[in-house]
Structure 1
Amino acid sequence: MIEDSIIQLEENIPLTDADLKHIQTQEEGIKSVLPAILGGCTLFIMVFITFLIWDHFVNFRYYEYILFVGAGFAMYGFCYFFALLVMRYDSANWKKDKAQGKNKLTSVVINRDKTEHAEYLTFAGPAKNDKIRIRVKPEDYSRYPVGAKLTVTYLKFSKEALELVER
């Protein structure tokens, strides 16, 4: 049983310049490599398709080569368009974080989850049977076991840990 007196939650703490820089760095990280990744994947797929239709490919007329290259550009554009939509959605979520600020929770780790994309620590919430699941860095995930008493500062909307301090 976890004592309710050790669980404290401070809400709507304004973001500092360092927090805003962290958010901006994460946004720009994927934007800088996206065209190269999509270009490489498109090129790989086009080479694979060329390999599969090689018998017919050598008999193409000049306009069929142009159509084939045009199909590659269309595929690149389609994937790039959807990647931009996903980044815009992600950016809107970060803007919600900017507007809502961050929270500071002093609590106990009650569970650890590891998915293929991220590691999470679950903390006891301020209400009875309330749980708060927060994404943490891999080194923090391996450092803190279940039962550790921590103070975690996290973004309110995305629930990503900014700082973990052991109590």
Structure 2
Amino acid sequence: MTKVLIDYSQIYLQENIPLSEEEVNMIATHKKDFFKDFSGVVIAVIMITTLIAAFFLKNEFKNFKYYHYILFIAAAVSLYLFFLLIHWLIYQYVKGRWKKDLENGKNRLKSIIISKHKTEGDEYIITFAGCSKGEKIRLPVKKKVYDEYETGTKVMVTYFKYSKEVLSLDHDERMN
């Protein structure tokens, strides 16, 4: 890995830029889509798990009483409610970040890409130099953007500070 030389006098961070109507609508769409596929996926997984359990218990069904069936259904419902609770807690956490982004606006950073890496979960991360020495700003990007920019490239990135979502990433020819 090559070391990128950074001129910190050329790095500039502009904070608390008001959001456009389109960006506010984008956050509202994220909120709306958060629960979109959740119920169907969890119900499908619980049904598959229940069918697997029923397959392994197929010889025991003749010994089942009515309360065994009630317990079986109660276990499936409680599993669904458990996953719903976890999903709701994650939503509350993310919703708090979206609220902060709506209140504080977006950031625009004129910087240099100092490193790039891909995580095990196929998330592509680009690290930008911050305004002071040693400060780094890591933001997830799409694969297409990740492949387009090389380490050492001078860029202008606009992003949400709290939800870490890149709104735009462009080459900055003005930096020398």
> TM (normalized to structure 2)?
0.88
- Answering whether residue 129 of structure 2 is matched by residue 128 of structure 1, we say no
Q: Does structure 2 conserve the Cα–Cα contact (< 8 Å) formed by 1:100 and 1:157? A: no
- Structure 2: runs of 5+ lacking an equivalent: none
Separation in structure 2 between the aligned mates of residue 23 and residue 125 of structure 1, nearest angstrom: 26
Q: By how many angstroms is 1:12 displaced?
A: 0.8
Q: By how many angstroms is 1:5 displaced?
A: 3.1
| Compared CA separation, residues 87 and 56, structure 1 to 2 (3 A) | same
- Answering whether residue 141 of structure 2 is matched by residue 162 of structure 1, we say no
Task: Name the aligned partner's letter for residue 121 of structure 1.
Answer: I
Aligned length: 167
Q: What's the C-alpha RMSD, in Å, of the aligned pairs?
A: 1.5
Residues 8-23 of structure 1: pairs in structure 2 closer than 5 A = 8-23=12-27
Q: Corresponding residue for 1:146? A: 151
Separation in structure 2 between the aligned mates of residue 82 and residue 3 of structure 1, nearest angstrom: 45
Residues 76-91 of structure 1: pairs in structure 2 closer than 5 A = 76-91=80-95
Residues 1-167 of structure 1: pairs in structure 2 closer than 5 A = 1-115=5-119, 116-167=121-172
Which aligned runs of 4 or more in structure 1 are off by greater than 4 angstroms?
A: none
Q: Does structure 1 conserve the Cα–Cα contact (< 8 Å) formed by 2:94 and 2:163? A: no
| Compared CA separation, residues 131 and 164, structure 1 to 2 (3 A) | same
Separation in structure 1 between the aligned mates of residue 98 and residue 136 of structure 2, nearest angstrom: 23
Q: Does structure 2 conserve the Cα–Cα contact (< 8 Å) formed by 1:9 and 1:126? A: yes
> What percent identity do the matched residue pairs reach?
37
- Structure 1: runs of 5+ lacking an equivalent: none
Task: Name the one with the larger helix percent.
Answer: 1
SS at match of 1:55: coil
Separation in structure 2 between the aligned mates of residue 81 and residue 2 of structure 1, nearest angstrom: 46
Q: By how many angstroms is 1:30 displaced?
A: 2.9
Separation in structure 2 between the aligned mates of residue 127 and residue 74 of structure 1, nearest angstrom: 50
